Amino acid sequence: MDPLDDVFAAMRVQSAIYAKLETIAPWGLSLAGGKSARFGLVVKGSCLFQMEDMSEPIIMQTGDCYVMAGGLPYILCSSLDSARVSCTQAVRDKIGGLVELGSGQGERATIICGWFSYDQSSALSLTSLIPGVLHVRTDSQRNEALQASLQILALEATSTDLGSSLVVSRLADIIFVQAIRAHIAHAGADELGWFAALADKKLGAALRAMHQNMAQAWTVEALAQIALMSRSAFALRFKEKVGETPLEYLTKWRMFKASCLLRQNDKSLGEIADMIGYESDEAFKRAFKRVHGMPPGEFRRAVAHQSLIKYQ
């Protein structure tokens, strides 16, 4: 299985909302933190995108998109010294409609903003891997498909047609994949993180091998051979890019896969252990508890209980 498939196959969109911003400079909008993922598309004009840990804001031009897996707070504005209103105040009761900001005589901008929420437990893997914000510029060929998806999502989010909520959910997944593809395609050689490792020809081959055959008894030596590198060079490069050793990464993803299988509730613990590369139930139980803080059986019961409460 492709590494991205492993992530997205487990994610489930729960809801999506949308708003269209029509702005006249000076204007500013502050968006508080939360659990929802966020996206934005600058349809016309330009704006600044600023997060707390950024030394400089991102200049968003016509056609630029941003996608955020986590709900970190951020600011959209015409300039950093512009007065700001909170998103809650500006967008209240206008979801899916028009939000007008600014009353000056400056530059006009049109921005499509949206929020979609995922099941938090299944989305944890993505939010721990993805950069704080994915910024896709207009000069990216892949951005054309992403822009088209965002435009369709904006239309469907305001539609009352049959099946609109289902279309929105599917498009939310597609938007993330398209944004990540564009990000990976433009990853620099000095960039760090999981996506940078996927973009690396040698490390990417080893990552794909692990995901395609997670049950195999992988060793660092075997992975290094796939990457066409020496053992020491591969281990060092992997740790520098991903932030953990190859076998630490493998264990984490085996446990992520196990948690997804436990939610499906149609396989025994022994079957799951075998599927992810553990020779015994006990070895699997110990590893799962070390990563998730509870035995797999207790995890399965907790998930079942949460589902029961949700649908009561």
Write out pLDDT tens, residues 145-202.
777 777 777 677 666 677 776 776 677 667 777 777 776 666 655 666 787 788 888 9
Residues 6+ apart with CB under 8 A from 209: 218, 223, 226
Residues 6+ apart with CB under 8 A from 35: 71, 117, 120
Q: Which range, of 20-24, 137-141, 191-195, 293-297, averages the lowest pLDDT?
A: 137-141
Taking only the tens place, the pLDDT of each residue in 100-130 is 999 778 999 999 887 777 665 555 555 666 6
Taking only the tens place, the pLDDT of each residue in 68-89 is 877 789 999 999 999 999 988 8
Mean pLDDT of 84-102: 78
Is the confidence at residue 96, as pLDDT, over 80? no
pLDDT band at 9 (very low <50, low <70, confident <90, very high): low
Taking only the tens place, the pLDDT of each residue in 30-62 is 988 877 778 888 888 999 999 988 889 999 998
The CA–CA distances, whole Å, from 233 to 57, 222, 240 equal 36, 13, 11
Q: Is the peptide bond before 26 cis (omega within 30 degrees of 0)?
A: yes
Per the model's pLDDT, the better-predicted residue between 133 and 272 turns out to be 272
Per the model's pLDDT, the better-predicted residue between 95 and 211 turns out to be 211
CA distance 181 to 143: 10
Residues 6+ apart with CB under 8 A from 52: 72, 73
pLDDT band at 139 (very low <50, low <70, confident <90, very high): low
What percent of the chain stands above pLDDT 90?
A: 34
* Per-residue pLDDT at 311: 41
The CA–CA distances, whole Å, from 312 to 36, 66, 245, 308, 309 equal 23, 37, 43, 6, 5
Q: Between helices 246-264 and 281-292, what is the axis angle to 10°? A: 100
Q: State the average pLDDT for the chain.
A: 81
Phi-psi region of 163 (alpha: psi -120 to 50; beta: other; left: phi over 0): left
pLDDT band at 238 (very low <50, low <70, confident <90, very high): very high
* Per-residue pLDDT at 288: 92
* Per-residue pLDDT at 24: 95
Residue 217 C-beta-side C-alpha neighbours within 13 Å: 2
* Per-residue pLDDT at 126: 59
Mean pLDDT of 23-33: 92
Residues 6+ apart with CB under 8 A from 189: none
Residue with tokens 């690396």: 200
* Per-residue pLDDT at 57: 94
pLDDT band at 306 (very low <50, low <70, confident <90, very high): low
Tokens of 2: 């492709």
